[in-house]
């Protein structure tokens, strides 16, 4: 920076001395209108067992989302042409240095102020507790996307991921203890300090803590594999009907916390079960078998399918829950081995036309 071009301290950065909450920003619900969806192009064959199949699946997801809203695919500079070939001309491809492909977690959490302002929180990304080296480029992705969109950046000292949070857009946030208080992310962090930071970073009031999942290796129990808001006051939660299934017991503990919770408006939650894809072929320690890990697009629900009979039952359920949206399922057999589903590989950029809600 040249001294001649020196700017007023903090100019262009409303969060220099304040926080998003103090500046009137909040994270809108995923069902509010989007300007676009951000994805990132997978390319590392040390991370993916069949990288070509995974690239095809990412391209399939991007093309389906593109029917509902614009999609921007971030690709490593060396992968831009490859990404364009798979995704077609309807999907925009931009070149940033990246390590892997989970924009839900490495991307920003976008915020609006209801007055036309766009901002975002860049969490301290550390690859889910330093699981996949190297990840330093992914740690810069949130900021790069926000700069690209001319959005202000709030840099949170919290190690956190977008997949570890869901909001109702009316002041309530869902997250899990096995992520936030994990020694691989925020050792020694107090609940009070975590709540203070999350409230300020996302403009929320009430944090509903679910226990999470102590057995899940990849994310340590992201909430977006356990439950999500369908609308204010209504939560879709994952179940496993087998009483002997160990993951079923974990899901039950999360249900118990949901049942006891009240949201920011003081409401108890209406809870709707959705059975996980427990009998899917390819299941393993990392393999994602979640049906709740779908993406809410403009007028659409882009949901995972596994090529099993339960896919159809799930489609019908989602169509009932979201009667005004088209439910489009995409086979994620080549994404699930990475430990996540469609919600994990997408990140909505809300429209600045959305209004501030009554929070």
Assess 6 for contact with a copy of itself (CB under 8 A). Answer: yes
Return the residue matching tokens 């691989």.
184
3-state secondary structure of 292: coil
The site map against a copy of itself for 254-273 (x = CB under 8 A) is --------------------
Beta-bridge mates of residue 118: 112
Look up residue 112 and give its two tokens.
């609006």
The C-alpha angle 290, 292, 295, rounded to 5 degrees, equals 115
* Nearest approach, Cβ of residue 138 and a copy of itself (Å): 9
Determine, following the binding rule CB under 8 A, whether residue 226 of this chain makes contact with a copy of itself.
no
Residue 357 DSSP symbol: P
Closer of 8 and 89 to a copy of itself (Cβ): 8
148 near a copy of itself (CB under 8 A): yes
Asked if 46 interacts with a copy of itself (CB under 8 A), we say: no
Q: Please choose, out of 49-57, 136-144, 252-260, 274-282, the segment that lies near a copy of itself by the rule CB under 8 A.
A: 136-144
Query: Considering only residues 103, 172, 176, 186, which one is a binding residue for a copy of itself as defined by CB under 8 A?
Result: 186
117 counts as binding a copy of itself under rule CB under 8 A = yes
Backbone φ, ψ for residue 133 (5° rounding): -80, 145
Comparing CA positions, the residue from 293, 267, 271 lying closest to residue 280 is 293
Q: Which of 2, 46, 89, 324 binds a copy of itself (CB under 8 A)?
A: 2
CA-to-CA dists, residue 295 to 158, 199, 243, 345, angstroms: 25, 24, 29, 9
Do residues 182 and 222 touch, judged by C-beta distance below 8 A? no
Distance CA 124, CA 25 (A): 19
Site string for a copy of itself, 72-111 (x = CB under 8 A): ------------------------x---------------
288 an active-site residue? no
The position carrying tokens 């496993």 is 240
> Which residues of this protein are in contact with a copy of itself, per CB under 8 A?
1-3, 5-14, 16-17, 96, 115-119, 124-126, 130, 133-136, 139-140, 143-144, 147-152, 155, 157-158, 184, 186-190, 193, 197, 352
């Amino acid at each position: 920076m040249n001294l001649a071009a020196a700017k007023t301290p903090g100019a262009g950065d409303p969060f220099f001395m304040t926080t998003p909450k103090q500046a009137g920003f909040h994270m809108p619900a995923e069902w509010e209108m989007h300007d676009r969806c951000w994805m990132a192009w997978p390319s590392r064959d040390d991370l993916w067992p069949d990288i070509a199949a995974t690239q095809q699946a990412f391209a399939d997801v991007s093309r389906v989302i593109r029917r509902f809203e614009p999609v921007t695919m971030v690709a490593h500079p060396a992968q831009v042409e490859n990404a364009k070939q798979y995704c077609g001309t309807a999907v925009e491809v931009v070149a940033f240095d990246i390590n892997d492909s989970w924009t839900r977690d490495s991307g920003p959490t976008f915020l609006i102020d209801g007055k036309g302002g766009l901002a975002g929180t860049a969490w301290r990304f550390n690859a889910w507790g330093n699981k996949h080296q190297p990840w330093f480029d992914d740690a810069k992705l949130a900021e790069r996307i926000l700069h690209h969109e001319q959005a202000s950046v709030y840099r949170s000292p919290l190690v956190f991921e977008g997949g570890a949070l869901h909001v109702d857009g009316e002041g309530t946030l869902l997250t899990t203890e096995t992520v936030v208080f994990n020694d691989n992310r925020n050792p020694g962090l107090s609940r009070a300090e975590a709540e203070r930071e999350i409230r300020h970073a996302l403009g929320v009031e009430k944090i509903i803590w679910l226990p999470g999942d102590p057995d899940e290796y990849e994310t340590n129990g992201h909430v977006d594999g356990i439950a999500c808001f369908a609308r204010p006051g209504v939560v879709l939660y994952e179940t496993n009907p087998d009483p002997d299934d160990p993951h079923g017991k974990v899901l039950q503990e999360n249900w118990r916390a949901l049942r006891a919770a009240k949201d920011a408006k003081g409401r108890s939650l209406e809870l709707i079960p959705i059975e996980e894809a427990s009998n899917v072929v390819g299941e393993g320690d990392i393999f994602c078998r979640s049906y709740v890990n779908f993406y809410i697009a403009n007028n659409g629900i882009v949901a995972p399918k596994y090529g099993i009979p339960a896919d159809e039952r799930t489609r019908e359920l989602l169509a009932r829950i979201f009667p005004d949206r088209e439910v489009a399922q995409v086979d994620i057999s080549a994404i699930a081995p990475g430990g996540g589903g469609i919600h994990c590989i997408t990140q909505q950029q809300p429209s600045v036309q959305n209004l501030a809600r009554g929070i």
